[in-house]
């Protein structure tokens, strides 16, 4: 069935290849096996259930807490002529009933529901009449109290799942720490399922933290270099949202606010304007963005410190979903930490403990001087193996910015020693600058030799130095109380045996040419900007006619490729990213007319040779065919796993697809992949004779759960190969 899945990927959705893990997850689902999928925002989770939904005979249910996501995905699916609907509170009574009738009549392939709607008696009675093949739970982290977005309603899904005993269960989330993953598996009883964990590295996102000095000016500087770009600016409070919105509006930016203080009608209108490119920028609290699937968001800026890494990761995940470069900037001030701490102090027990850990991890990420992907991915249990990602401020810092800060470091460290290593950076900075604050005078610290020896620097500079000294391990800091104590390394600095080097200024918000040069693709650099704008105008016109977001017609990536390769025929549209047979038929001529006219006016030729090569690449043998042929030529499963950079179980799945496609496999090569003894293997084969071999769960249970699923898949393949 994976061959049919690939056909849907190419012909319906217009994509050449699966993204990492999509093929493996889809194979698992088509084999009617449960799965937990952790895949970053923008990694392609939706296709993991949308493609199986098209191949299954019955209904696919998608549970989501996000009304905006349901609407968004259904609109996009309808553009592909896929019968998908949602049931939620935004529908009028007539629309709701019409959708219910379509489900009852078996006209629908995909049904999107909120958990509350699913739990209603009338919904459960309706679905009891349907053949449900796939039960999908999106945003599955909502089920865990250790997740950043816990929702009690999600706990009920474990009971609801019993309504569909024959349905495969697929749970998906973009943000789950190892602790949250365990919770999801336990609560949903995914004991025998497989977990698919994609990398948390979003390679196209540029990560930057700038010290917050004059936030409005920094924001205006940031936006100055991003004219006509779509982006989100997150603020801590409603008041801040409104103030920033007014200032940006005054400066002529295309912008709207979004926060819980606005009426529902106004929030929805502003969100719709953003999605449909009627405005470029949305200034919002964290209330905005859940379920937004707008692929051309080119930047996400945090005006204030995010409250935890999950929220930050989820919010920056709304940028660059089309795979093109996007910028993520945080303006960071220590005072923002105090705001979050104030709200944490209102909590109690486990809730307070979880929130404090979240804040500590967030500060560690903000203040690191190593590659930002190291602590970010480490938080989710993944090790980042590169020394330099080339896509964060720390990795792209210019050597010329590094200064010899030894003298200032000696002043600071000396003052810390003379005050007994009992105070934080702010207090030490006050002494160095000769402050007459009551606490300094009462403690007699105005009598110290270090009093007023640092008034050449602003207080903020001393704070930045302290942060750098902590990061470089010259100082230790107790997170709870803040006093700074010297390490052995710091003693060497005071003794004049070691110099201190570093860069203090992190206030610049503009990403330089060096970063842009290193992080953009050939197509992004060299597409025809004027043609792209003309294609964008046509896309907006078509989208407005159909009352859908522009990206539901084509994403920016598609328009960029059109403005780079200049296809002149409908056949040459097929290799362009995001153009499948459905959309080629619907919109092909509209865009070809513009491309042809532009090429004629500007004497530009179609890149026919490259398009022909892309087409040939599309028609090449499927991966499973290449693997099957190599296996029959004598290559082992181990060898093929190493060659393709995947696990053995993935090779076994490809070989199963090859077999199901009508080909033979050499059984002796399959047996060699098993680690079972001959006795145990024969025992498993006897159970395969008793029980239908296409369902592994009954076999797993029959063997008292003593043989794992990976081994069962090998023996299943061996059994099937011998039956041919």
Q: Is the dihedral of CA 23, 24, 29, 35 positive or negative?
A: negative
Least confident of 147-151, 185-189, 706-710: 147-151
The CATH number assigned to the domain holding 427 equals 1.10.10.10
Q: Which residues, other chains included, contact 427 with Cβ-Cβ below 8 Å and sequence gap of 6+?
A: 419, 439, 440
CA 88/CA 92 separation, integer angstroms: 9
Residue 397 lies in a domain: no
Least confident of 8-12, 121-125, 162-166, 481-485: 481-485
Number of domains in the chain: 5
The CATH number assigned to the domain holding 257 equals 3.40.50.300
- Given a cut of 90, whether residue 41 has pLDDT beyond it is no
CA 117/CA 2 separation, integer angstroms: 33
Residue with tokens 């039960």: 135
Least confident of 33-37, 131-135, 526-530, 701-705: 701-705
For residues 163 and 123, state if they share a domain. yes
Task: Select the more confidently predicted residue: 578 or 441.
Answer: 441
Domain of 471, in residue numbers: 403-502
Residue 703 lies in a domain: yes
For residues 244 and 349, state if they share a domain. yes
Residue 249 lies in a domain: yes
For residues 426 and 364, state if they share a domain. no
Model confidence over 537-546: pLDDT tens digits? 999 999 999 9
For residues 613 and 628, state if they share a domain. no
> Domain ends where: 602, 618, 634?
618
pLDDT of 149 reads 65
CA 22/CA 42 separation, integer angstroms: 12
Task: Select the more confidently predicted residue: 642 or 677.
Answer: 677
Q: Is the dihedral of CA 398, 404, 406, 411 positive or negative?
A: negative
Mean of pLDDT values over 717-724 = 84
Task: Select the more confidently predicted residue: 68 or 319.
Answer: 319
Query: What are the E-state strand segments in 125-179?
Result: 132-137, 168-173
For residues 380 and 431, state if they share a domain. no
pLDDT of 481 reads 45
DSSP code for 154: G
Q: What pLDDT band is residue 254 in, cutting at 50, 70 and 90?
A: very high
For residues 52 and 189, state if they share a domain. yes
| Torsion of Cα atoms, 665 then 669 then 671 then 675, to 10° | -140
Residue 701 lies in a domain: yes
> Kind and range of the H or E element at 232?
strand 230-234
The DSSP secondary structure of 278-335, one letter per residue, reads SSSEEEE-TTS-TT---TTEEEEEESS--SSHHHHHHHHTTS-TTSS-EEEEEEE-HH
pLDDT of 4 reads 87
| Torsion of Cα atoms, 708 then 712 then 714 then 717, to 10° | -160
- Given a cut of 90, whether residue 644 has pLDDT beyond it is no
For residues 187 and 231, state if they share a domain. no
β pairing state of 501-502 and 484-486: unpaired
Residue 672 lies in a domain: yes
pLDDT of 618 reads 58
List the Cα angle 360/363/364 in 5-degree steps: 85
For residues 67 and 181, state if they share a domain. yes
CA 347/CA 343 separation, integer angstroms: 7
> Kind and range of the H or E element at 616?
helix 608-618
Model confidence over 477-488: pLDDT tens digits? 765 446 888 998
Q: Which of 65, 120, 56, 63 is nearest to 83 (CA)?
A: 56
What is the pTM (predicted TM-score) of this model?
A: 0.65
Residue with tokens 């964290």: 286
- Given a cut of 60, whether residue 667 has pLDDT beyond it is yes
In our burial notation (b when 16+ CB lie closer than 10 A, e otherwise), range 509-539 reads bbbeeebeeebeeeebeebbeebbebbbebb
Model confidence over 154-192: pLDDT tens digits? 888 888 888 998 899 999 988 777 888 888 888 888 867
The CATH number assigned to the domain holding 555 equals 1.10.150.80
For residues 352 and 228, state if they share a domain. yes
In order of 5, 553, 716, the CA distances from 133 in angstroms are 16, 29, 22
pLDDT of 506 reads 65
Q: Between 47-55 and 2-11, two packed helices, what is the crossing angle to 10 degrees? A: 110
For residues 44 and 155, state if they share a domain. yes
For residues 11 and 104, state if they share a domain. yes
Q: Is 65 left (phi over 0), alpha (psi -120 to 50) or beta?
A: alpha
The percent of residues in the chain predicted with pLDDT above 70, rounded, is 92
pLDDT of 564 reads 93
CA 191/CA 548 separation, integer angstroms: 41
pLDDT of 539 reads 95
Question: How far apart are the two ends of the chain, measured CA to CA in Å?
Answer: 18
pLDDT of 480 reads 42
- Residue 85 has φ and ψ, to the nearest 5°, of -145, 170
| Structure tokens that stand for 404 in this block | 């010899």
Residue 516 lies in a domain: no
pLDDT of 45 reads 87
Model confidence over 275-285: pLDDT tens digits? 999 999 999 99
Model confidence over 682-702: pLDDT tens digits? 888 988 888 766 777 778 888
pLDDT of 229 reads 92
Q: What pLDDT band is residue 63 in, cutting at 50, 70 and 90?
A: very high
Task: Select the more confidently predicted residue: 146 or 502.
Answer: 502
Residue 477 lies in a domain: yes
In our burial notation (b when 16+ CB lie closer than 10 A, e otherwise), range 80-91 reads bebebbbbbeee
pLDDT of 510 reads 61
Q: What pLDDT band is residue 617 in, cutting at 50, 70 and 90?
A: low
CA 74/CA 71 separation, integer angstroms: 5
Average pLDDT taken over every residue of the chain: 86
> Domain ends where: 583, 599, 618?
618
CA 173/CA 267 separation, integer angstroms: 25
Bridge partner list, 332:
211
Residue with tokens 């698919």: 196
Mean of pLDDT values over 640-645 = 72
Inter-residue contact 198 to 154 (CB < 8 Å): no
CA 219/CA 224 separation, integer angstroms: 9
- Given a cut of 50, whether residue 399 has pLDDT beyond it is no
CA 141/CA 145 separation, integer angstroms: 9
Least confident of 95-104, 607-616, 669-678: 607-616
Residue 507 lies in a domain: no
Residues, the chain: 724
- Given a cut of 90, whether residue 634 has pLDDT beyond it is no
- Given a cut of 50, whether residue 400 has pLDDT beyond it is no
In our burial notation (b when 16+ CB lie closer than 10 A, e otherwise), range 622-642 reads bbbbbbbebbeeebebeebbe
Task: Select the more confidently predicted residue: 535 or 617.
Answer: 535
> Domain ends where: 389, 414, 446?
389
The CATH number assigned to the domain holding 684 equals 1.10.10.1390
For residues 183 and 35, state if they share a domain. yes
Bridge partner list, 87:
113
Inter-residue contact 643 to 631 (CB < 8 Å): no
């Amino acid at each position: 069935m994976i061959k049919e899945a690939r056909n849907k990927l190419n012909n319906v959705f217009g994509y050449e290849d699966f993204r990492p893990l999509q093929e493996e997850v889809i194979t698992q689902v088509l084999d009617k096996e449960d799965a937990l999928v952790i895949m970053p925002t923008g990694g392609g989770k939706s296709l993991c259930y949308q493609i199986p939904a098209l191949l299954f005979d019955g209904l696919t249910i998608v549970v989501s807490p996000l009304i905006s996501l349901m609407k968004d995905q259904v609109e996009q699916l309808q553009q592909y002529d896929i019968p998908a609907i949602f049931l939620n509170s935004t529908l009028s009574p007539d629309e709701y009933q019409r959708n219910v009738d379509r489900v009852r009549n078996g006209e629908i392939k995909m049904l999107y529901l909120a958990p509350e709607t699913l739990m209603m008696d009338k919904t459960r009675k309706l679905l009891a009449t349907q053949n449900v093949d796939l039960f999908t739970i999106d945003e599955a982290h909502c089920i865990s109290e250790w997740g950043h977005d816990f929702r009690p309603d999600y706990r009920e899904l474990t009971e609801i799942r019993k309504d569909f005993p024959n349905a495969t269960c697929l749970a998906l989330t973009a943000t789950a720490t190892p602790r949250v993953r365990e919770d999801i598996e336990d609560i949903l009883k995914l004991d025998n399922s497989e977990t698919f964990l994609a990398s948390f590295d979003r390679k196209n996102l540029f990560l930057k933290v700038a010290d917050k000095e004059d936030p409005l000016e920094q924001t205006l500087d940031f936006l100055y270099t991003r004219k006509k770009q779509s982006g989100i600016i997150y603020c801590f409070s409603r008041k801040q949202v409104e103030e920033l919105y007014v200032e940006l509006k005054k400066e002529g930016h295309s912008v709207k606010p979004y926060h819980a203080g606005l009426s529902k009608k106004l929030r929805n209108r502003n969100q719709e304007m953003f999605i449909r490119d009627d405005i470029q920028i949305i200034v919002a609290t964290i209330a905005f963005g859940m379920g937004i699937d707008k692929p051309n968001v080119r930047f996400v800026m945090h005006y204030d410190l995010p409250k935890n890494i999950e929220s930050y990761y989820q919010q920056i995940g709304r940028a660059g979903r089309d795979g093109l470069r996007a910028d993520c900037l945080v303006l960071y001030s220590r005072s923002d930490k105090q705001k979050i701490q104030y709200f944490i102090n209102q909590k109690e027990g486990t809730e307070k403990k979880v929130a404090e850990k979240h804040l500590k991890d967030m500060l560690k990420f903000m203040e690191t001087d190593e590659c930002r992907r190291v602590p970010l991915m480490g938080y989710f249990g993944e090790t980042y193996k590169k020394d330099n990602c080339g896509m964060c401020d720390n990795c792209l810092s210019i050597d010329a910015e590094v200064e010899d800060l030894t003298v200032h470091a000696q002043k600071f460290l000396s003052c810390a020693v003379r005050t007994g290593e009992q105070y934080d950076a702010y207090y030490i900075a006050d002494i160095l600058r000769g402050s007459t604050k009551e606490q300094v005078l009462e403690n007699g610290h105005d009598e110290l030799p270090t009093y007023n020896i640092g008034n050449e620097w602003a207080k903020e500079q001393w704070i930045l130095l302290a942060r750098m000294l902590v990061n470089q391990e010259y100082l230790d800091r107790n997170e709870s109380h803040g006093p700074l104590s010297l390490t052995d390394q710091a003693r060497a600095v005071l003794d004049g045996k070691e110099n201190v080097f570093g860069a203090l200024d992190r206030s610049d918000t503009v990403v330089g040419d060096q970063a842009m040069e290193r992080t953009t693709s050939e197509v992004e650099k060299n597409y025809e900007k004027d043609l792209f704008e003309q294609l964008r105008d046509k896309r907006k016109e078509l989208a407005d006619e159909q009352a859908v977001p522009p990206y539901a017609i084509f994403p920016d990536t598609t328009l960029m490729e059109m403005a780079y390769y200049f296809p002149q025929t409908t056949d040459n549209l097929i290799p362009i990213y995001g153009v499948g047979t459905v959309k080629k038929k619907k919109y092909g001529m509209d865009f070809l007319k513009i491309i042809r006219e532009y090429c004629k006016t500007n004497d530009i030729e179609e890149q026919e040779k490259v398009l022909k090569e892309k087409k040939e690449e599309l028609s090449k043998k499927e991966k499973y065919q290449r693997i099957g042929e190599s296996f029959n030529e004598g290559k082992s499963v181990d060898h093929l796993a190493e060659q393709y950079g995947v696990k053995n179980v993935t090779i076994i799945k490809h070989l199963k697809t090859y077999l199901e496609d009508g080909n033979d496999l050499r059984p002796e090569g399959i047996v060699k992949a098993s680690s079972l003894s001959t006795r145990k293997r024969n025992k498993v084969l006897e159970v395969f004779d008793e029980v239908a071999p296409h369902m592994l769960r009954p076999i797993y249970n029959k063997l008292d759960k003593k043989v794992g699923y990976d081994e069962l898949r090998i023996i299943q393949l061996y059994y099937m190969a011998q039956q041919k």
